[in-house]
């Protein structure tokens, strides 16, 4: 009968022990990876749910703002163009005629889409032949633009007026106009210019019309101001 070498027996024991340790480490790594994947999947699932809920809440908020805007619109003066199927909405405080110094925005509805236009009116005893407009808020220019003005006269008085579509880049300036303490407008002509300060009535009309327009598009003035500040920082 052969005797087992104690050293050989010891080597086999260590070899088995090493194999068991390696197997245990492999199983532990697999378990850890599975756990991490499960955690990541759960996190992604929760994150997706939050995004869906935020999107849903955003749509609800937007719908609520639009409803408020449509309610506000009922207080405006409505002018219908039945041939073009276009509606024009003006604040009831706006002047009826163009022969007075005044500026005001108004809302246009075309195929359930709302956009803004702005009327600039100048009245005096002599022509300026206006070709450019500047708006200044609290001592700082916030907008300037070229414009084609129509003209008329009667009884020794003249008036010039322009009707401009408001681009999105002009909206932040309107927000500033509606909230400013002092707003000045300059009409620049071929040789001369004329400056004046906007009245409280004009600023009130601008504020009311702007608010209603923003609501109709699911927006509010705070979001406009925030976006304007971010873009200018």
Q: Is the pLDDT of residue 106 over 60?
A: yes
In angstroms, the CA 187 to CA 128 distance is 8
pLDDT band at 227, cuts 50/70/90?
low
Looking at the structure, tell me whether residues 211 and 96 fall in a common domain.
Answer: yes
In angstroms, what is the C-alpha Rg of the chain? 35
Range from 6-10, 111-115, 188-192 carrying the lowest mean pLDDT: 6-10
| Residue 55 or residue 120, greater confidence | 120
Looking at the structure, tell me whether residues 10 and 85 fall in a common domain.
Answer: no
Could you say which of 50, 74, 98 is where a domain stops?
A: 74
Looking at the structure, tell me whether residues 33 and 107 fall in a common domain.
Answer: no
Q: What is the DSSP string of 67-92?
A: HHHHHHHTTSEEEEETTTTEEEEE-T
Looking at the structure, tell me whether residues 131 and 218 fall in a common domain.
Answer: yes
Looking at the structure, tell me whether residues 146 and 206 fall in a common domain.
Answer: yes
Looking at the structure, tell me whether residues 63 and 124 fall in a common domain.
Answer: no
Looking at the structure, tell me whether residues 64 and 91 fall in a common domain.
Answer: no
In angstroms, the CA 51 to CA 48 distance is 5
pLDDT band at 9, cuts 50/70/90?
low
Looking at the structure, tell me whether residues 58 and 162 fall in a common domain.
Answer: no
In angstroms, the CA 175 to CA 183 distance is 12
Vertex 182 angle, CA 166 and 140, to 5°: 70
Exposure string for 144-164, b = 16+ CB within 10 A, e = fewer: eeebebeeeeeeeebbbbbeb
| pLDDT tens digit sequence for 30-53 | 876 666 565 555 555 545 544 444
What's the mean pLDDT when you consider all of the chain?
A: 85
Q: Which domain holds residue 220?
A: 75-231
pLDDT above 70 covers what percent of the chain?
Answer: 79
Looking at the structure, tell me whether residues 130 and 59 fall in a common domain.
Answer: no
Q: Is the pLDDT of residue 6 over 70?
A: no
Looking at the structure, tell me whether residues 68 and 98 fall in a common domain.
Answer: no
| pLDDT tens digit sequence for 132-145 | 999 999 999 999 99
| Residue 60 burial by Cβ neighbours in a 10 Å radius (0-12, 13-18, 19+) | exposed
Could you say which of 23, 53, 74 is where a domain stops?
A: 74
Looking at the structure, tell me whether residues 111 and 8 fall in a common domain.
Answer: no
Looking at the structure, tell me whether residues 20 and 135 fall in a common domain.
Answer: no
| Residue 79 or residue 6, greater confidence | 79
Contact 212, 178 (CB under 8 A): no
Task: Please state the domain count of the chain.
Answer: 2
Could you say which of 43, 74, 105 is where a domain stops?
A: 74
In angstroms, the CA 188 to CA 194 distance is 7
pLDDT band at 54, cuts 50/70/90?
very low
Model pTM?
0.73
Average pLDDT over residues 162-177: 92
Average pLDDT over residues 111-118: 95
């Amino acid at each position: 009968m052969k005797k087992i070498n104690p050293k050989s027996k010891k080597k086999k024991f260590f070899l088995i022990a090493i194999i068991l340790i390696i197997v245990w480490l492999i199983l532990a790594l697999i378990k850890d990876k599975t756990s991490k994947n499960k955690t990541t999947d759960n996190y992604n699932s929760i994150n997706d749910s939050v995004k869906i809920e935020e999107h849903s809440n955003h749509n609800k908020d937007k719908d609520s703002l639009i409803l408020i805007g449509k309610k506000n619109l009922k207080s405006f003066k409505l002018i219908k163009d039945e041939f073009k199927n276009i509606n024009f909405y003006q604040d009831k405080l706006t002047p009826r005629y163009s022969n007075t110094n005044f500026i005001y925005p108004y809302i246009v509805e075309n195929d359930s889409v709302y956009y803004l236009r702005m009327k600039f009116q100048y009245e005096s005893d002599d022509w300026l032949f206006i070709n450019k407009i500047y708006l200044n808020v609290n001592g700082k220019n916030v907008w300037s633009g070229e414009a084609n003005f129509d003209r008329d006269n009667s009884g020794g008085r003249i008036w010039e007026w322009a009707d401009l579509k408001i681009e999105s880049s002009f909206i932040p300036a309107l927000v500033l106009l509606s909230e400013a303490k002092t707003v000045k407008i300059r009409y620049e002509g071929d040789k001369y210019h004329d400056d004046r300060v906007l009245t409280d009535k004009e600023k009130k009309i601008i504020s009311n019309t702007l608010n209603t327009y923003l609501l109709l598009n699911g927006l509010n003035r705070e979001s406009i101001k925030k976006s304007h500040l971010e873009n200018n920082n």
